[in-house]
Amino acid sequence: MLHRSTLGRIFDIFNVLLFIVICISILVPFINAIAISLSSYNAAAIGKIGLWPKGFNLEAYHKLAYSKQFLRTFLNTVFLAAVNTALVIILSLSAGYVMAHKHLIGRGFLFILLIIPMYFSGGLIPFYLLVNKIGLNNTYWALILPNVINVFYIIVFRNQINQLPQELIESAEIDGASEVRILFKIILPLVLPMAMAFVVFSAVAYWNEWFGVLIFIREKTMWTLQFQLREILISAEMIDSETRKTLINQEALIHPNNLKMAALMLTILPIIVIYPFVQKYFIHGQLVGAVKG
């Protein structure tokens, strides 16, 4: 018993140390990015900035806050993340309910049809040609329609609904409730933790969308925040020491490193602010999905 207890303490100490190392590896680059975004032009040019800003400077944030292009991309990203998340959750929940319905004919065959796209796809080039063929190129529909069906979400919702007491659904049917009413008044509250977990997954994924913009969007006014950040990072890397003098606002003294780190902070700030409020749903949803009743 003593031997087991000693091994248990060693294991706990190892876990704590490992957790501390992981936290430090995550926090140090993040704090360093904040410090660079708040440092002066000269400090950013030298590049020797640690975990504390050198020469406090908010000009990079000021420039981004008053940039029409940056604000436009922010609103574009909020719109796309909200629309895509709402559509994928509603459609996945509805499809999962249909797949779990006992009156559905050919459920096994339909389930196989759902599984196939999870393992096989046509590839990027056929996908691009298809989107271009149906006239969605350079429109937001190219970023919305291909993403509204998530087979994994459908399967998980189907399994969750199958585990619910069928008497609830049968009693609602006897009382004359419609399928829509059963879905949103009975099923949804019971699977809400799982739905909220998927909301977090989807919102973060769509908030980070940039590749679809790269291949489908041509108008600068339709860019997303992550694609705008990509352009800022690329532009900052391409500016050499000789051309910085002509491209940088000498009055405001904004170094490219100030600008790209400030853009990075503003990009991830909404996720950091929102996540603590939905964390309880996320954890509960994970536990519900892992434990079978």
Q: What is the largest CA-CA distance in the chain?
A: 78
279 found inside a domain: yes
5 found inside a domain: no
Domain extent for 172: 58-290
Provide the pLDDT for residue 90: 92
Provide the pLDDT for residue 91: 92
Helices (H) and strands (E) in the chain, counts: 16, 0
Provide the pLDDT for residue 253: 61
17 found inside a domain: no
Provide the pLDDT for residue 22: 92
**Domain tally, the chain:** 1
Residue 150, CB-side half-sphere exposure with 13 Å CA sphere = 24
16 found inside a domain: no
Residues of the chain with pLDDT under 70: 1-4, 236-253, 280-293
12 found inside a domain: no
Provide the pLDDT for residue 70: 84
Provide the pLDDT for residue 285: 52
Task: Please report, for the domain that includes residue 195, its CATH number.
Answer: 1.10.3720.10
How far is it, in rounded angstroms, from Cα 211 to Cα 105?
A: 39
> Given the structure tokens 């749903």, which residue do they identify?
281
Q: Distance from first CA to last CA of the chain, Å, rounded? A: 34
Do residues 112 and 79 touch, judged by C-beta distance below 8 A? no
13 found inside a domain: no
List Cα–Cα distances, 168 to 92, 177, 288, in angstroms: 21, 11, 19
How far is it, in rounded angstroms, from Cα 30 to Cα 14?
A: 25
Provide the pLDDT for residue 54: 81
Provide the pLDDT for residue 282: 62
Note the pLDDT tens digit of each residue in 200-247. Answer: 888 888 888 888 888 998 888 888 888 888 887 777 655 544 444 444
How far is it, in rounded angstroms, from Cα 92 to Cα 108?
A: 18
47 found inside a domain: no
143 found inside a domain: yes
Provide the pLDDT for residue 160: 86
